[in-house]
Amino acid sequence: MRIAVIIVAAGRGSRAGGPVPKQWQMLAGRRVIDRTIAAFAGLGPVVVVLHPDDFGLLAPGPGIGSGIRLVAGAATREGSVRAGLEALAADPPDLVLIHDGARPLVQPALIARVIAAAARTGAAAPAVPVTDALWRGGEAVQGTVAREGLWRAQTPQGFAYGAILAAHRAHAGGAADDVAVAQAAGMTVAIVAGDEDNMKITGPGDLARAARILGEELDIRTGNGFDVHRLGAGDHVILCGVRIAHDAALIGHSDADVGLHALTDAILGALAEGDIGRHFPPSDPQWKGAASEIFLAHAVTLARGRGFTITHADVTLICERPKIGPHAGAMRAELARILGIDAGRVSVKATTSETLGFTGRGEGIAAMATATLVAP
């Protein structure tokens, strides 16, 4: 089945405000129209219907697929859709999706639902049920309207190409959308589940709402760390900043706290800042015997300097002894103090290797860590 897409973006969008029409405004670092086009990548040819003055804004190039065809729009949306349909007539697809250029948040699952239903029935459109009470009135409420059976229409709306082209050619004009054109031609249009996030940029606050939906403010990073230190002569170990009496000690250039080292590497990894050895070379004598809190605090400072908040840390200690459970609470508290976050966002747990390997033989202790960083 051959699919084509028509994206209607010829309007001026003055209600949204801003120096340029809404489809050309920026949303999370990309123009609205670019996001909309990208949502349909790989489906088939894409016809973008534009105001003639805007052709130069969407010339094929980096970020704009070579399969994009630009068509001049008309004075009405209906006229613009017909222009897009006519542009496909020389090599007609089986199915055409017609989508508003100002709906940049459409998701693949919704598009797939429309395609499946339209392929089966010949016409389908997404919608969400009306759940709020409806009133009729002006300055005061004059009455209510039953909301049962009412839906809020969305796009893309999908049709058998030949049928919707014939419907548009026969239509006298004045349709609210392509479903209305199809119905006027006697077509039955199936309703598929829409998506509340598939909003249309219309008013001044809609770009901000769309940015929130996209999570534009959030740069979420996850990093992993792993560290190992061997055990030698001594009477205690330091793990996650907590001193624990033991019949051996961890050996390393610093205090050999594998928990803090792994977590430090996790944060540095999330920042793409290399590993702990890059920042604190073991060949540098100033770090001999140093408290590993210094290393973790350095990573925290780097994260904050880049605008990140550490939202979660998870450390797993791998050893047969000492037993970690009795000290896990103190470890969480110490990590939370160094990280500057609530202890409820810090996890410390332990596992053994079932007496296998160097940890099982008591020759050393290992640690794994994961850290999550978020920046606005």
Looking at the structure, tell me whether residues 79 and 207 fall in a common domain.
yes
CA-based nearest residue to 332, from 351, 355, 316: 316
3-state helix, strand and coil shares in percent for the chain, rounded to the nearest 5? 35, 30, 40
Indicate which CATH number applies to the domain containing 314. 3.30.1330.50
How many Cβ atoms are within 10 Å of 123's Cβ, its own excluded? 24
How many Å apart are CA 289 and CA 295, to the nearest integer?
A: 12
Helices (H), 61-194: 77-87, 108-121, 161-170, 178-184
Looking at the structure, tell me whether residues 200 and 288 fall in a common domain.
no
Under the banding of pLDDT at 50, 70 and 90, the label for residue 13 is: low
Looking at the structure, tell me whether residues 166 and 291 fall in a common domain.
no
Taking only the tens place, the pLDDT of each residue in 90-115 is: 999 999 999 999 999 999 999 999 99
- Going by DSSP bridges, is the β-strand pair 219-232/134-137 parallel, antiparallel, or unpaired? unpaired
User: Residues 339, 372: contact at Cβ < 8 Å?
Assistant: no
> Tokens for 78?
């209906």
How many Å apart are CA 308 and CA 375, to the nearest integer?
A: 4
Give Cα 187 distance to the centre of its chain: 37
Q: What is the pTM of this model?
A: 0.61
- 146 has a pLDDT exceeding 50: yes
Under the banding of pLDDT at 50, 70 and 90, the label for residue 376 is: low
> Tokens for 307?
């605008």
Question: What is the pLDDT at residue 14?
Answer: 60
- 61 has a pLDDT exceeding 70: no
Looking at the structure, tell me whether residues 129 and 112 fall in a common domain.
yes
User: Residues 359, 339: contact at Cβ < 8 Å?
Assistant: no
CA-based nearest residue to 329, from 352, 349, 312: 349
- 190 has a pLDDT exceeding 80: yes
CA-based nearest residue to 93, from 158, 156, 37: 158
In the chain, the amino acid numbered 115 is I
How many Cβ atoms are within 10 Å of 15's Cβ, its own excluded? 12
> Tokens for 126?
């997404």
Under the banding of pLDDT at 50, 70 and 90, the label for residue 332 is: very high
> Tokens for 93?
């697809």
Of the listed ranges 11-15, 297-301, 304-308, 318-322, the least confidently predicted one is 11-15
Looking at the structure, tell me whether residues 115 and 137 fall in a common domain.
yes
> Tokens for 193?
């589940």
In the chain, the amino acid numbered 160 is A
| Residue that finishes a domain, picked among 214, 245, 274 | 214
- 15 has a pLDDT exceeding 70: no
CA-based nearest residue to 277, from 307, 300, 298: 298
Indicate which CATH number applies to the domain containing 47. 3.90.550.10
3-state secondary structure of 259: helix
Report the range out of 54-58, 213-217, 300-304 with the highest average pLDDT: 300-304
How many Cβ atoms are within 10 Å of 81's Cβ, its own excluded? 26
How many Å apart are CA 247 and CA 232, to the nearest integer?
A: 9
- 259 has a pLDDT exceeding 80: yes
The whole-number average pLDDT for the span 49-75 is 79
3-state secondary structure of 79: helix
Under the banding of pLDDT at 50, 70 and 90, the label for residue 345 is: very high
- 280 has a pLDDT exceeding 50: yes
Range of the domain at 53: 3-214
The number of folded domains in the chain is: 2
- 308 has a pLDDT exceeding 60: yes
| Residue that finishes a domain, picked among 214, 230, 259 | 214
Question: What is the pLDDT at residue 17?
Answer: 59
- 9 has a pLDDT exceeding 50: yes
Question: What is the pLDDT at residue 63?
Answer: 43
Taking only the tens place, the pLDDT of each residue in 171-188 is: 998 898 999 999 999 999
- 12 has a pLDDT exceeding 60: yes
| Residue that finishes a domain, picked among 163, 194, 214 | 214
Question: What is the pLDDT at residue 110?
Answer: 97
> Tokens for 77?
């949306």
Looking at the structure, tell me whether residues 25 and 117 fall in a common domain.
yes
| Summary mean pLDDT of the chain | 92
Question: What is the pLDDT at residue 327?
Answer: 97
Of the listed ranges 78-92, 112-126, 208-222, the least confidently predicted one is 208-222
